[in-house]
Amino acid sequence: MITLPKLILASGSPRRSEIMNSVGWKFTKDVPDIDESELEDEDPATYVQRLAKEKAEAVAASHPGEIILAADTTVVINDQIIGKPIDLDDARRMIRMLSGNWHEVLTGIAVMKDTKVDVGLQRTRVKFVAMNDAEIEFLVGKGDPLDKAGAYAVQAQAALFIEGIEGDYWNVVGLPIGLVYQMVMKSEAS
């Protein structure tokens, strides 16, 4: 029998909370307030790992001796980060970019206890079918795109248009829970 140690989830994402709840992981939330701007010449993998680490560090001082879990997810197409859309027109633009193409979902994970931090990365490739204007409008109108990297939720309306996924499905939802488990258990063992 394994025991999942209680975590402090440094995230306001409802999807991350849902994933943690679905596997029975006990946690409390402490949402960090950090600057999520990209640095000049920063590649996407470095970007999501840096933000995950900064989110963990931002809440760690308030939780001495506790395990902090932080994550940051972004969508990358043609080496370009496409984060969360600023409005519905931006969401349409993003979905047009994804239509008919493969893209990558990257999540940086940070597991921190006191001053010790471990940072990891999960990559998943996703392909959308080619979508027509009506399908794009459906996804923008029904898919609640504004709080999601890449303007879509794989577990909701976007599922109608996903042709393939290579890698961790849960990463695309917002938290690669298998990687989280491995990292937390490794930190507990050390």
Query: What DSSP state is assigned to residue 100?
Result: T
Helix axes 133-142, 88-98, angle to 10 degrees: 130
pLDDT at position 1: 86
- DSSP one-letter code for 95: H
pLDDT tens by residue, 40-95: 999 999 999 999 999 999 999 999 999 999 999 999 998 899 988 999 999 999 99
Residue 32 pLDDT exceeds 90 = yes
pTM recorded for the entire structure: 0.93
Query: Which pLDDT value is given to residue 149?
Result: 87
Residues 110-121, mean pLDDT to the nearest whole number: 96
Out of 30, 33, 72, 118, pick the active-site residue: 72
Residue type, 174: G
The confidence score (pLDDT) of residue 147 equals 84
- Look up the CATH architecture of domain 7-189: Alpha-Beta Complex (3.90)
SS3 177: helix
The answer to whether 71 and 174 are in contact (CB under 8 A) is yes
For 127-136, what is each residue's pLDDT tens digit? Answer: 999 999 999 9
Asked if residue 190 has pLDDT above 80, the reply is no
Residue 68: other Cβ atoms inside 10 A: 24
Please say if 168 is a catalytic residue. Answer: no
**Averaged pLDDT of the chain:** 94
Hey, where are the domains in the chain?
A: 7-189
Bridge partners (DSSP) of residue 107 are 73, 122
Instruction: Specify the higher pLDDT residue, 20 or 149.
Output: 20
Going from the C-alpha of 150 to that of each of 48, 50, 98, 117, 154, the distances in angstroms are 14, 19, 8, 28, 10
* pLDDT, average across residues 144-151: 88
User: Do 109 and 94 form a contact (C-beta atoms < 8 A)?
Assistant: no
